[in-house]
Structure 1
Amino acid sequence: MRKPSKKRQQGAVSIVVALSLLVLLGVLGLAIDSGFGYMIRAKLDAAADGAAIAAGQAVTRGADQATQTANAQQAATAFFAANYPAGFLGSTATLASPSITFNQGTVTIDIAAQAQVPVSFMQLFGFKLLKVTTSSESVRKDLDMSLIIDTTGSMATDPTVPPAVRSAAITFLQQFDQLADRISLLHFAYGTVVDQPFNGNSRGFDLAAMTSSINAFNFSGSTNSAEAYWNALDQLNDVITQPSSLRVIVFFSDGAPNSFASIFGANATNTACSSFAGTIISGDTPNTPAAMYYDNVQSQKYASPCYSNSASNVVTQLPQWYNAHNTTWLDNQTIPVITNTPRVVTSAINYANVNNAARNIAEAMANQARSQGIYVFAIGRGSELLQPEGANGEIGQDVLKCMANTPDSLPRCYNPAQPVGVYCQALTPADLTPCFSKLASEILRISK
């Protein structure tokens, strides 16, 4: 048998080596070019996702859908350009015109982008460009929100506070979609006034009317927080029969609750006062409770004989249950007045019982909201909320945190199974707008 010559063997090996090098070069080129592709894809994804979020925030601005669409598209384009630098790794990126779709309060924003970059080693195999595409979608949920503003007399002790409250509240409302979001506006002291109710199931809100109402606020009376919550919940549960996917209560106050409304047992000589609800007040320091004030007016006493600066002259005892209203979502035996928890309340008409009951009922109202899937956000104004007050020397800030169900609230309050809200402390009037802005940002974040 004839053996192949060494020259033939060497030639065959050379061909194999050359082919192997070519394959190896191709694999190396593919790895290098693919690596560039992955980096470009990551940058493109981040820019597209950010553009979708930016558009979702901007789409709330404008009094008509054409303006909102233009604002959203402009924001998306600007964010994309800022976050995908021109010529990144030698690539050229293109953002398609963002698609904005409105559907009964929900806005869907679709983003599509692509980038292409010249390849190096892969040109050996006939490829000249590497194309990378991505897409992102942002869905802004429809929103129902009740905004509650404290207009008690303590707000007016510093003359710079009322204008700061008005400005911050109006700026807050401007962050939301006048065409799609449903917002009701309420203010409270002894009683609660619904300034701008929801318009049934119709979407949108009247920013001009709300601005006018806020600018007309005056500040007097004590803190009946429970009545404010009841009215906010009534707006969300009864006025609206087709709720949005996101429901929120924003509660702004400078003090812990110290008053509440109910139907009280009247004196034998004063039976006329036992047929309707009124507010009984305790104040923040030990005093003699007074009663009764209207529960649907900011600050107004009932006419004689249904008012006395000593409540025991008008009513004989506190009721067993909060019974100021009876509705389908809250009956007359849902929230106890006489109770051992979280604060002890007996039926006697005295400062401690009225003060404790006011706080218990307000916290229970907030809990009622959260049990229905409603987020509660709270803003506390002033350093007084950091000082002990009330019958148990409580810190007012703790009460507001309990209402909002924040992770840093009192252990007895925090319930991770319920919507977790946000609390912001505005120590000075200058802090009010940042606090309202923080809440607006958080609401817009969870609406996506």
Structure 2
Amino acid sequence: MSEVLRPQPEGVPGQRPMPSHREKGMAVLISAILMFFTLGTVGLAIDGGLAYLVKGRLIASVDSAALGAARGLNLGDDVATANAAATASATRFFNANFPSGYMGTDPALTTITPTFTLLTTGGVANGILQVDVVGAVTAPTYFMRMFSVPNIRVSATGTATRRTLVMMLILDISGSMGSRNTTVGTIPSTLVSNASSCEAMVYSAIQFLNFFSPYDYIGVTTFSSQAQVVYTPSTNYKKTGSAGAAKAIANQDCTGSTNTTPSLELSYAAIQNVGLKLAMNEIALFTDGVANTVSGAFPLRTQKDTRYSPSPVSAINPPSTNVQLLHSDPNNPYSPTTYYLGTNVTPTLDSPYSTAQTTLKNSGVTPLYGDSRFLPLSAVQYKKYTDLAQGTRDAFGWYLGSASGPYLPRWIQDSGAPTNNFRNCQNNDAASEFAYKCYMMAVPSASTSPATVTGSITVTPSSSGTLYNNGSSSSVGSMTSYSSKYGYRTGFQKTLPNVNVTAIPSGFPTPSSPNTLVSSQIIAYIPDTDQFGNSNRGFKDNWVFEVNSNCAPSGTPVNGGNLCRFRGGDWGSYSSVGEGSNFFQSGPYRNYLRPDFNNPYPVAAMNSTVSAANKIRNDTDYNIRIDTIYLMGNENVVDRDFLQIVANVEQIKPIVFDNGTVSPYSNPYFNPNQQKGLAMATTDGSQLAGLFAQIAASLLRLSR
């Protein structure tokens, strides 16, 4: 069968032939299918983009809510109320950043869920509180609903961490703070006008507690003559009644001295006992004055030396075999001594005189007891002598065994001893507050076991009386707490309530009020380290306190109204004042801090406080920060750098009593590797609450 040839259509060479009807139908079908998927893809992209915008806003909002929740934790008095306050704070922060109905989201389906977790390391709490806020919203779809997806659930989690605060609040309750205006035990709701420093401190410290969270640990240490933890650090510190810290603070009144160092030691141990090394560990120290109490193992004096004698009325009672009290007699070469009771001369021999005594008297010789030329004595004269001597050798430096003699010296004679040395050493005049220097003071006891007595000694102000210069009648002024040559001091006291003072060995004088004989007679010197191993030597070694007076500007609120205070200075600039040094310059205890006048005690106390603070800040496990508040003006002495060094500030700032005479200068003891604290000062008790609030604000920033 032959093939039929059909003619080809005319057209452009190489052009594709026109599709058939079947081919056109397939193209339409494929296009329709592709359009369906294209619309779905575009819709997914658009709805997904909108969801992405919602997600971005949600992330920012829950992050803000987490921070808000962390801040809100400070608003409750216990964990439950703190969590509720934090949740409310998180909601406010979230709503402020995620407006209701944002991008069509459904407000009714929006949820915010905070959770609070104390983190652990190896199963042990580490001091970090983690706040997680989960936010979820329902975003509408515009294209995906054709695929039965009317909305999209979008969620995000915001996380914030808050360092737990572990803080010990140290409060000075020494006597210079004055007495409470309100009844002890009362929690003051307001600060009364003309409040005492003690009242202002109690009120401000209680208000300070309100800034912090029930997740924080807060404790309270107080110090005066002793230091003690009155509230162990706890998260329950905001509770009412005896379970809370506010009541522990309200139970304080102010009396005693200023024993600062032990309060730092107790607070340091309390923070370690909590054991949260990653927490914000803090000591906030409030005080109104110079540390003036020294603790330690005080070595007993076993060698003769020259020092100030017991003041004001304590008498030496040497053993019956004592031959160590040196004395000279420039007035009568025939008498071993010129001392009798409270006078400076040997008493006159009583009449009637024998013929030999009368002849001697008529030749111009004064009839004195102790002059061997007037022996033998009559019965009347001998009785008078024994009455005056009271059967002992304490009233005379010699002894008459019988009326016919001989006079026997009771103490070694030394031509180097000053006039009236026996009087200076005996120092038993109860009428005035004398401060005499005793040349080669007798050793109180031959006992050397134990070799030290452990306790604390503090300087105290004079209650009355006048000081005199080495037995003369010329006054050298009223006795003050930090005298550079004189002064009252206590006997041994407890440093801590549960640590007893070591017993004084047998043979040493028994201390009696005012106990200054302890530091003058019994103690060899102030030890180089305190009861806790801190150095009593340091930045104040050459300091003298009651010099360099200057006045605050007129109108400055200062306790007592006197605008002027001693600022102290280096003894090299005041060499004519007092002893000229805090150290023995000669004798067996050369180069040791002297215990026989007042100025060295605050020197040692401030040195040990700085040493303790440095030790605490040097603990790299707990990284403790120390902040200080100084209420100046309650004492006649103020100090510029002491508490600023304790706080480890970079720059020492002037105080109000400098009044433009001093510019800021670099702290020579600043350690950049330790925590830097705040050091604040005021003369006005009504400003204390504001200073505490500034410390709180700083701590809250650092704990985030």
Q: What is the TM-score of this pair, normalised by structure 2?
A: 0.48
Question: For residues 683 and 150 of structure 2, what CA distance do their matches in structure 1 show?
Answer: 62
Match of 1:159 in 2: 195
Question: Does the 8 Å CA contact 1:381/1:428 hold for their aligned counterparts?
Answer: no
Match of 2:285 in 1: 251
Question: Does the 8 Å CA contact 1:155/1:254 hold for their aligned counterparts?
Answer: yes
Question: For residues 626 and 233 of structure 2, what CA distance do their matches in structure 1 show?
Answer: 19
- Establish whether residue 367 from structure 1 lines up as the match of residue 542 from structure 2: no
Question: For residues 483 and 644 of structure 2, what CA distance do their matches in structure 1 show?
Answer: 24
Asked which structure has the greater CA Rg, the reply is: 2
Match of 2:644 in 1: 401
How far 1:107 sits from its partner (Å)? Answer: 3.3
Question: For residues 203 and 451 of structure 2, what CA distance do their matches in structure 1 show?
Answer: 40
Question: Does the 8 Å CA contact 2:481/2:598 hold for their aligned counterparts?
Answer: no
Question: For residues 314 and 85 of structure 1, what CA distance do their matches in structure 2 show?
Answer: 79
- Establish whether residue 97 from structure 1 lines up as the match of residue 113 from structure 2: yes
Question: Does the 8 Å CA contact 2:177/2:254 hold for their aligned counterparts?
Answer: yes
- Establish whether residue 107 from structure 1 lines up as the match of residue 129 from structure 2: yes
Residues 189, 42 of structure 1: alpha-carbon distance in 2 compared, 3 angstrom cutoff: farther
Match of 2:458 in 1: 280
Number of positions where the alignment pairs a residue of Structure 1 with one of Structure 2:
403
Match of 1:73 in 2: 87
Match of 2:490 in 1: 291
Match of 1:136 in 2: 158
Match of 1:224 in 2: 259
Question: For residues 256 and 2 of structure 1, what CA distance do their matches in structure 2 show?
Answer: 113
Question: For residues 106 and 670 of structure 2, what CA distance do their matches in structure 1 show?
Answer: 50
Question: For residues 145 and 52 of structure 1, what CA distance do their matches in structure 2 show?
Answer: 24
Match of 2:529 in 1: 321
SS at match of 1:316: coil
| Larger CA deviation: 376-385 vs 216-225 | 376-385
Question: For residues 14 and 140 of structure 2, what CA distance do their matches in structure 1 show?
Answer: 50
Residues 382, 280 of structure 1: alpha-carbon distance in 2 compared, 3 angstrom cutoff: closer
Residues 342, 118 of structure 1: alpha-carbon distance in 2 compared, 3 angstrom cutoff: farther
Structure 2 residue aligned with 1:358, among 602, 605, 627?
605
Question: Does the 8 Å CA contact 1:263/1:274 hold for their aligned counterparts?
Answer: yes
- Structure 2 letter corresponding to 1:366: A
How do 1:131-280 and structure 2 match up within 5 A? Answer: 134-156=156-178, 159-178=195-214, 180-198=215-233, 204-205=236-237, 207=239, 208-209=241-242, 210-237=245-272, 240=273, 242-246=275-279, 247-267=281-301, 268-269=443-444, 274-280=452-458
Question: Does the 8 Å CA contact 1:318/1:338 hold for their aligned counterparts?
Answer: no
- Structure 2 letter corresponding to 1:66: A
| Larger CA deviation: 96-105 vs 255-264 | 96-105
Match of 2:627 in 1: 378
| Larger CA deviation: 412-421 vs 95-104 | 95-104
Greater helix share, 1 or 2? 1
- Establish whether residue 337 from structure 1 lines up as the match of residue 373 from structure 2: no
SS at match of 1:276: strand
SS at match of 2:651: coil
- Structure 2 letter corresponding to 1:79: F
Q: Deviations over 1:226-270 (max 9, x none)?
A: 121122123334xx2744432221211122323322222234427
How far 1:426 sits from its partner (Å)? Answer: 4.7
Residues 195, 383 of structure 1: alpha-carbon distance in 2 compared, 3 angstrom cutoff: closer
How far 1:91 sits from its partner (Å)? Answer: 7.3
Question: Does the 8 Å CA contact 2:259/2:291 hold for their aligned counterparts?
Answer: yes
Structure 1 residue aligned with 2:674, among 415, 418, 427?
418
Identity in percent: 21
- Establish whether residue 52 from structure 1 lines up as the match of residue 66 from structure 2: yes
- Structure 2 letter corresponding to 1:260: V
| Larger CA deviation: 139-148 vs 272-281 | 272-281
How far 1:414 sits from its partner (Å)? Answer: 2.3
Question: For residues 178 and 249 of structure 2, what CA distance do their matches in structure 1 show?
Answer: 15
CA RMSD of aligned residues (A): 4.5
SS at match of 1:97: strand
Question: Does the 8 Å CA contact 1:225/1:260 hold for their aligned counterparts?
Answer: no
Question: For residues 607 and 284 of structure 2, what CA distance do their matches in structure 1 show?
Answer: 19
- Structure 1 letter corresponding to 2:291: P
Residues 241, 194 of structure 1: alpha-carbon distance in 2 compared, 3 angstrom cutoff: closer
Question: For residues 88 and 626 of structure 2, what CA distance do their matches in structure 1 show?
Answer: 31
Question: Does the 8 Å CA contact 2:129/2:162 hold for their aligned counterparts?
Answer: yes
Contiguous gaps of at least 5 residues in structure 2? 1-11, 16-41, 120-124, 180-193, 302-442, 461-479, 502-509, 543-581, 584-591, 653-665
Q: What is the TM-score of this pair, normalised by structure 1?
A: 0.72
- Structure 1 letter corresponding to 2:687: D
Contiguous gaps of at least 5 residues in structure 1? 5-25, 326-331
SS at match of 1:59: helix
- Structure 2 letter corresponding to 1:438: Q
Question: For residues 521 and 221 of structure 2, what CA distance do their matches in structure 1 show?
Answer: 31
Question: Does the 8 Å CA contact 1:149/1:252 hold for their aligned counterparts?
Answer: yes
Q: Deviations over 1:4-33 (max 9, x none)?
A: 9xxxxxxxxxxxxxxxxxxxxx9xx99xx8
Q: Deviations over 1:199-240 (max 9, x none)?
A: 8xxx65574333222112111233221121122123334xx2
Question: For residues 381 and 44 of structure 1, what CA distance do their matches in structure 2 show?
Answer: 47
- Structure 2 letter corresponding to 1:367: N
Question: Does the 8 Å CA contact 2:128/2:278 hold for their aligned counterparts?
Answer: no
SS at match of 2:516: coil
Question: For residues 604 and 137 of structure 2, what CA distance do their matches in structure 1 show?
Answer: 63
Question: For residues 172 and 74 of structure 1, what CA distance do their matches in structure 2 show?
Answer: 23
SS at match of 1:169: helix
Structure 1 residue aligned with 2:512, among 304, 309, 329?
304
How far 1:139 sits from its partner (Å)? Answer: 2.6
Q: Deviations over 1:102-137 (max 9, x none)?
A: 5656532101335788899xx9xxx99999764321
